[in-house]
Amino acid sequence: MEGWKTLVFNGAIGLLVIVKELVTYTSGFDWSAILPHQTAEMVILGLGIANIVLRHVTVGPAGWRKSAKP
């Protein structure tokens, strides 16, 4: 592997470690005190729909690709 593939692989491994630590840290927290069960489901559904809509609306390359061209 070289270039961006190595970066993606190592980033994914690092992200897994961070997510594991966050899950361990927040597992004892009572989330229902902040968001009722059904509200949390609607927030997650809304974020998913927003991401799908943004993906279909976006037609250009990622922002960092535009700035890399001279």
Q: Quote the tokens at residue 26.
A: 């927040």
Let me know if residue 36 belongs to a domain. yes
Domain span holding position 38: 4-61
User: Which residues, other chains included, contact 43 with Cβ-Cβ below 8 Å and sequence gap of 6+?
Assistant: 35
Let me know if residue 31 belongs to a domain. yes
Listed residue (50, 69, 51) closest to 61, CA to CA: 69
Let me know if residue 25 belongs to a domain. yes
- What pTM was computed for the model? 0.41
Let me know if residue 19 belongs to a domain. yes
Domains identified in the chain, total number: 1
pLDDT in tens, 14-63: 999 998 888 888 888 777 777 777 887 888 889 889 988 887 777 766 55
φ and ψ of 59, to 5 deg = -120, -20
Tell me how far apart the alpha carbons of residues 5 and 66 are, in angstroms, rounded to a whole number. 20
